[in-house]
């Protein structure tokens, strides 16, 4: 039977999806998951994370993300540092 049109592309994308799902599953079960993966679970950073996901092209600044999170810039920076182990980049 001849290969279907687009089959290699579909198989490539399917492999991508399966890989992402496997990594997510491993991170959920691992106490050693990277900090950037665990951080979104925190309520203080989830609103900022959601905003960034909805508008990835926007040049986000610390003041904007702090306002979205309902925090002062200093409190946002402290929360970010505690969650991710590095300060947010300021623009």
The residue extents of the domains of the chain are 1-33, 36-84
Confidence of residue 32 (pLDDT cuts 50, 70, 90): confident
- Predicted confidence at residue 15, as pLDDT, reads 95
Report the predicted TM-score, pTM, of the whole model to 2 decimal places: 0.57
Question: Measuring CA to CA, which residue among 73, 74, 85, 71 is closest to residue 43?
Answer: 71
The answer to whether residues 48 and 65 touch, using CB atoms and an 8 Å cutoff, is yes
- Predicted confidence at residue 21, as pLDDT, reads 93
Question: Measuring CA to CA, which residue among 46, 39, 87, 86 is closest to residue 69?
Answer: 46
Confidence of residue 67 (pLDDT cuts 50, 70, 90): very high
The answer to whether residues 85 and 77 touch, using CB atoms and an 8 Å cutoff, is no
SS3 13: helix
Neighbour count for residue 2 (Cβ, 10 Å) = 5
pLDDT at 13 over 90: yes
Could you identify the residue written with the tokens 């999170």?
Answer: 69
- Predicted confidence at residue 87, as pLDDT, reads 86
Question: Measuring CA to CA, which residue among 66, 74, 73 is closest to residue 44?
Answer: 66
């Amino acid at each position: 039977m001849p290969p279907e049109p687009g089959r290699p592309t579909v198989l490539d994308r399917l492999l991508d999806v399966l890989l992402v799902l496997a990594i997510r599953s491993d991170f959920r079960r691992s106490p050693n998951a990277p900090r950037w993966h665990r951080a979104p679970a925190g309520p203080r950073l989830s609103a900022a994370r959601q905003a960034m996901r909805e508008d990835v092209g926007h040049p986000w600044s610390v003041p904007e993300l702090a306002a979205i999170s309902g925090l002062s810039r200093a409190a946002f920076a402290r929360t970010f540092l505690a969650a991710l182990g590095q300060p947010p980049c300021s623009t």
